[in-house]
Amino acid sequence: MNSSLLIAVGIVVVLIGILLIFSGFLFSIKELGERGGRSAETRGGGIIMVGPIPIIFGSDKTSVQTVIILTIVLMVIAFLLFWLIHKVL
């Protein structure tokens, strides 16, 4: 596989990540404006991948379930990408 292709894919992935962060920021500003500046309950969750082992945390059950689903999707996508790269090489 050509190294310039891998660099281009990496740049695209980083740009997509920046776009997602920016769109989330804009969405939260829009939601705050719709509530008239009143504060709301904050919920969230996250994942730390230590090799193949996911460490999942969250502030409530719904957030943790969402993170679990996203983790499974992420692991399937990673498996497919590794399989595709191995097949091409």
The residue range of the domain holding 26 is 1-40
**Residue 36's pLDDT is what?**
65
Query: Do 27 and 60 reside in the same domain of the chain?
Result: no
**Residue 37's pLDDT is what?**
59
Query: Do 47 and 81 reside in the same domain of the chain?
Result: yes
Determine contact, residues 72/89, Cβ cutoff 8 Å. no
Query: Do 26 and 59 reside in the same domain of the chain?
Result: no
Query: Do 33 and 49 reside in the same domain of the chain?
Result: no
How many structural domains compose the chain? 2
Query: Do 50 and 68 reside in the same domain of the chain?
Result: yes
pLDDT tens digits for 4-54?
888 888 899 999 999 999 998 888 777 777 666 566 677 888 988 887 788
Query: Do 30 and 4 reside in the same domain of the chain?
Result: yes
Count of C-beta atoms within a 10 Å radius of residue 76:
10
Determine contact, residues 64/57, Cβ cutoff 8 Å. yes
